[in-house]
């Protein structure tokens, strides 16, 4: 009897233990099932960077849900480990600096295997066919100007082999990160263009890769500006790069003279502010006349420049023009390029700007002709420039016609030198009827006086085409 009661007590105690342990057992089983079957798959982004490896390449990978990761490269039965890691956190970024030659890899094909695990049954394996290309393009500067003035233009003739991108790079040594670059164009294609009816109503940038390794060297031509805001000791470089990321850089011997420009003071009165400034802000009166002028002269000017820089990206990959550019007929020069202006309101300086074109005056609403052949890239209101026509002449070269009272062309129209495109006026930030004429190189306004000069065109442009 007593034994029977003890057995019952033991069974009761076991049931209590089981009852208490059951939730914990279920939790462990559920957690284990989750870890085995329901955790997310490993995620790795950036693997396409392995497709081509240059002589020195940094591959950036972003990973999620990773418990372990292994990356190795195989070439000719030779294995090289690139990464072995057990990350502490589920998300991690890896930066792998790969120099194929230093780790025993040769140019040609290789296989990269990426193996990542998120759990016992969760893993991914990627096999990537990689091309190793450590040979940089061949680059030679054939011809470049010995010196150019601030605000003028230049050209560089290059011989290149094995490049997918060729350009001129303008660098301020004190701020090398703020460089500017100007695309070079393969010369034979750039010249084979002047009469192509199929392109009359379109402008397309040419992003076709250049010569690849093993092909014959080709000549490239680049037009480049010496912008108004250029600083002392600025340097010019020719750069050729290939799709793998190999780069060849050669400096140009071109020296830039920091030409001084005229300084002038312009008095702004209430009549000008009421008549010109307020309408540009879509107002008829405001509480702060000086602040209103400053907003127009600086903020709206900056927005106009931004629009022009974006338009400059849409240039034909060929020369659409011939010979010197024409000045407005029977016109008088009212203002020149580079004029550094201080604006005075009630004897107090309220703003400043640089005049980056030529103001040309004839009679009111005089006809305006295209200065050279090209394709109309813009024909609309351009804020402080008023009604504006911009003509693309190819390879980053454009001409700008501002303050027009009327425009007689539309975007996409093909024009020849002397074709009427509009009439002079006083739209935008203008005090009277005139034409603001500008020359743009890759969006930067340069002095038109050089492009009006037949001798300058012959020496600095045409001689490069026949070198």
How confident is the model over 2-39, as pLDDT tens digits?
555 555 555 555 666 656 666 666 565 555 555 555 67
Distance CA 360, CA 402 (A): 10
> pLDDT > 70: what percent of the chain?
87
C-beta atoms surrounding 416 within 10 Å: 13
| DSSP codes of every residue in 84-111 | EE--SSSEEEEEEEE-GGGGT--SEEEE
Model confidence at 199, in pLDDT bands (50, 70, 90)? Answer: very low
In the predicted structure, residue 196 carries a pLDDT above the cut 70: no
Tokens 């420009």, located at residue: 261
Task: Answer yes or no: are the C-beta atoms of 67 and 86 closer than 8 Å.
Answer: yes
According to CATH, the superfamily of the domain at 43-132 is chitin-binding protein cbp21 (2.70.50.50)
C-beta atoms surrounding 422 within 10 Å: 24
* Average pLDDT of span 260-264: 92
Per-residue pLDDT tens over the stretch 399-439: 999 999 999 999 999 999 999 999 999 999 999 999 999 99
Q: What is the pLDDT of residue 253?
A: 93
Per-residue pLDDT tens over the stretch 318-352: 999 999 999 999 999 999 999 999 999 999 999 99
- Name the region of 314 (left: φ>0; alpha: ψ -120 to 50; beta: rest): beta
C-beta atoms surrounding 419 within 10 Å: 15
- Name the residue among 396, 384, 381 with its Cα closest to residue 440: 396
In sequence order, the 6+-apart residues with CB closer than 8 A to the CB of 302 are none
Q: What is the pLDDT of residue 160?
A: 96
* Average pLDDT of span 226-252: 94
* Average pLDDT of span 198-226: 62
Task: Answer yes or no: are the C-beta atoms of 239 and 247 closer than 8 Å.
Answer: yes
Per-residue pLDDT tens over the stretch 431-466: 999 999 999 999 999 999 999 999 999 999 999 988
Chain mean pLDDT for the chain = 88
Q: How far is CA 373 from CA 291, 319, 321, in A?
A: 41, 9, 5
* Average pLDDT of span 361-382: 97
Q: What is the dihedral of CA 331, 335, 337, 340, to 10 degrees?
A: 180
Model confidence at 287, in pLDDT bands (50, 70, 90)? Answer: confident
In the predicted structure, residue 118 carries a pLDDT above the cut 60: yes
* Every domain of the chain and the residues it spans: 43-132, 138-257, 263-465
**Between 33 and 180, residue with greater pLDDT:** 180
Model confidence at 200, in pLDDT bands (50, 70, 90)? Answer: very low
- Written as six digits, the tokens of 344 are 């005075």
Q: Out of 58-72, 99-113, 212-226, 425-439, which region has the weakest mean confidence (pLDDT)?
A: 212-226
User: Rg (Cα) of the chain, in Å, rounded?
Assistant: 33
Q: What is the pLDDT of residue 204?
A: 43
Bridge partners of 228, per DSSP, are none
Q: Enter the DSSP assignment of 34.
A: I
Distance CA 427, CA 414 (A): 25
- Predicted structure pTM score: 0.82
Helices (H) and strands (E) in the chain, counts: 9, 32
Q: What is the pLDDT of residue 38?
A: 61
Q: Which CATH class is domain 263-465?
A: mainly beta
Model confidence at 311, in pLDDT bands (50, 70, 90)? Answer: very high
Per-residue pLDDT tens over the stretch 156-172: 999 999 999 999 999 99
Model confidence at 146, in pLDDT bands (50, 70, 90)? Answer: very high
Out of 2.30.110.10, 3.40.50.300, 1.20.120.530, 2.60.40.640, the CATH code matching 138-257 is: 2.60.40.640
Per-residue pLDDT tens over the stretch 40-56: 889 999 999 999 999 99
Q: What is the pLDDT of residue 207?
A: 40
C-beta atoms surrounding 209 within 10 Å: 10
């Amino acid at each position: 009897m007593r034994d029977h009661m003890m057995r019952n007590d033991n069974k009761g105690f076991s049931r209590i233990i089981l009852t208490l342990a059951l939730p914990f057992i279920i939790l462990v089983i559920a957690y284990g099932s989750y870890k085995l079957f329901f955790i997310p798959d490993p995620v790795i982004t950036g693997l396409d960077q392995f497709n081509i490896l240059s002589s020195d390449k940094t591959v950036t990978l972003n990973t999620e849900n990773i418990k372990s990761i292994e990356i190795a490269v195989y070439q000719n039965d030779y294995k090289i480990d690139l990464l072995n890691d057990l990350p502490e956190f589920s998300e991690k970024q890896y930066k792998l600096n790969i120099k194929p030659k230093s780790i025993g890899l040769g140019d040609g094909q290789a296989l990269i295997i990426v193996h990542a695990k998120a759990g016992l049954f969760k893993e991914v394996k990627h096999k990537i066919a990689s091309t190793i290309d450590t040979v940089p393009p061949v680059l030679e500067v054939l011809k470049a100007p010995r010196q150019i003035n601030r605000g003028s233009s230049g050209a560089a003739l290059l011989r290149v082999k094995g490049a997918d991108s060729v350009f001129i790079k303008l660098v301020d040594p004190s701020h090398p990160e703020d460089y500017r670059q100007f695309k070079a164009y393969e010369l034979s294609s750039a010249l084979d263009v002047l009469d192509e009816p199929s392109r009359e109503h379109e402008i397309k940038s040419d992003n076709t890769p250049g010569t690849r390794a093993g092909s014959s060297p080709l000549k490239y031509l680049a037009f480049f500006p010496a912008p108004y805001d250029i600083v002392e000791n600025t340097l010019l470089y020719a750069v050729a790069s290939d799709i793998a990321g190999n780069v060849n850089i050669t400096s140009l011997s071109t020296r830039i003279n920091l030409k001084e420009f005229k300084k002038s003071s312009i008095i702004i009165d209430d009549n000008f502010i009421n008549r010109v400034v307020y309408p540009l802000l879509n107002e008829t009166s405001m509480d702060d006349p000086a602040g209103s002028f400053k907003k127009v002269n600086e903020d709206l000017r900056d927005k106009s420049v931004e629009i022009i820089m974006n338009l400059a990206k849409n240039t034909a990959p060929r020369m659409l023009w011939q010979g010197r550019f024409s000045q407005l007929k029977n016109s008088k020069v009212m203002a020149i390029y580079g004029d550094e202006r201080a604006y005075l309101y009630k004897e107090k300086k309220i703003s400043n700007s640089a005049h980056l074109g030529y103001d040309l005056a004839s009679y009111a609403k005089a006809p305006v002709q295209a200065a050279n052949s090209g394709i109309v890239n813009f024909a609309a209101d351009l804020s402080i420039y008023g009604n504006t026509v911009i003509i693309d002449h190819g390879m980053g070269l454009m001409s700008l016609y501002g303050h027009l009272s009327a425009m007689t062309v539309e975007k996409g129209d093909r024009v020849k030198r002397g074709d009427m495109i509009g009439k002079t006026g006083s739209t935008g930030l203008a005090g009277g009827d005139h034409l603001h004429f500008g020359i743009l190189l890759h969006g930067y306004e340069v002095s038109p006086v050089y492009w009006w000069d037949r001798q300058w065109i012959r020496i600095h442009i045409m001689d490069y085409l026949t070198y």
